[in-house]
Structure 1
């Protein structure tokens, strides 16, 4: 086996199963709070919508925090790596064009968690969208602008 960083070794042999539910999380480079700017957060939302419209993934719930996002999806085509690469690349391009910034927007890699069949999907979606409450960013969920879920 090649000498890979631990984060890459964990992914060796892993694949995304079509029609399976995943919780995806990724951070901004250096955990910079880029998405305190609502307009920049909406550019990431546009990429979620594009992935949904192009049938790469069915978006079930998401929240964009100041320095990361959580995205609950059902994978519909391609791989998780392709989906995340496309999302991160297109959102970085849009944000860099908007701000005049150059360089990396996102940390390399991402975290994925496949849901077990018996897990309560709605409960997990509520957990995802309640992140701003737990982080103390708002007192009521409706006060935070960068989230959505198909059930709520």
Structure 2
């Protein structure tokens, strides 16, 4: 018998730390185009819902947000965000089925001290995952908005007031800490170094080059691709090491072999003109 889900406790401050995670911890972002599309969805939903977003970070297989809802519930907000992105992502990568874990995780942020802790934890997620050496070099987070004092998506004023100014806040966000007691998923986003990825590829396939891999039987190549992905290689790494297009790699990972030929041709559709809030501008401060 299925047990009913426990109702979420309402935060006394109405502020929540929320995490969206890929089902089975799989990647939900493969390249910057995916991250940009998610930011357009986030900005669009923020504009329509009226929620405040105090911090966010986009990792490869999960997203962290520090959010204060307005008129809509968290469930409504993230059902809309998750559904819109999953439809687009599945179409782009010829994928079927759920993209996100069925229910997002959330925790209440009910004090100024814990708000500060969660804010820094979210900002430093890429650094702790080995993606950057200091906050700011990875652009898919709110750090630069706080460093500049404002952003296009991030609502910075509450934190600036809490810290008494930008300098104190930025110094705090750069401090070394032991904030891993917060909902920790950074370790799940660690990418294998290229040398280790090559070593795993050779061990699994007994091939040391793209040309050797291409000589393998098609069904065996697909089996090896699934094994490499299971051991932590990203789609991009597998594509580079095997010479297979990324969409083909994704199809091999996601679709059972007996269904591989039943997929519809890839048809990517650009978002409607009124949907696009942000373009691929490296100078955008989120």
| TM-score normalised by structure 2 residue count | 0.46
Deviation at 1:35, TM superposition (A): 1.7
- Mean Cα deviation higher: 66-75 or 51-60: 51-60
Alpha-carbon displacement from aligned partner over 1:50-105 (angstroms, at most 9, x marks no partner): 12111342111100111001011111122111111111101112222333322211
1:116 to 2:110 alignment: yes
Superposition pairs for residues 140-151 of structure 1, below 5 Å? Answer: 140-148=134-142, 151=146
Q: Is the partner of 2:113 in helix, strand or coil?
A: coil
Larger relative strand fraction: 1
Deviation at 1:18, TM superposition (A): 9.3
Deviation at 1:31, TM superposition (A): 1.1
Gap change, CA 1:84 and 1:22, over 3 Å in 2:
same
The structure with the larger Rg is 2
Q: Matched residues in 2 for 1:17 and 1:120: separation?
A: 12
> Of 60, 73, 81, which residue of structure 2 is paired with 1:79?
73
**Which residue of structure 1 aligns with residue 3 of structure 2?**
4
Give ranges in structure 2 of 5+ residues lacking alignment: 148-286
1:138 to 2:137 alignment: no
Counterpart contact for 2:12–2:110, Cα < 8 Å: no
Moved over 4 A (4+): 15-19
Q: Matched residues in 1 for 2:102 and 2:60: separation?
A: 17
Q: Matched residues in 1 for 2:10 and 2:36: separation?
A: 26
Give ranges in structure 1 of 5+ residues lacking alignment: none
- Mean Cα deviation higher: 115-124 or 82-91: 115-124
Q: How many residues align?
A: 146
Q: Matched residues in 2 for 1:56 and 1:19: separation?
A: 16
Alpha-carbon displacement from aligned partner over 1:30-63 (angstroms, at most 9, x marks no partner): 2112324121122222222112111342111100
Superposition pairs for residues 1-152 of structure 1, below 5 Å? Answer: 3-4=2-3, 8=5, 11-12=6-7, 14=8, 16=10, 20-148=14-142, 151-152=146-147
Q: Matched residues in 1 for 2:138 and 2:121: separation?
A: 14
- Cα RMSD of the aligned pairs, angstroms, is 2.3
Q: Matched residues in 2 for 1:103 and 1:92: separation?
A: 9
Counterpart contact for 1:23–1:114, Cα < 8 Å: yes
Q: Is the partner of 1:54 in helix, strand or coil?
A: helix
Q: Matched residues in 2 for 1:19 and 1:118: separation?
A: 10
Q: Tell which has more relative contact order, 1 or 2 (C-alpha 8 A, sep 6+).
A: 1
Gap change, CA 1:95 and 1:18, over 3 Å in 2:
farther
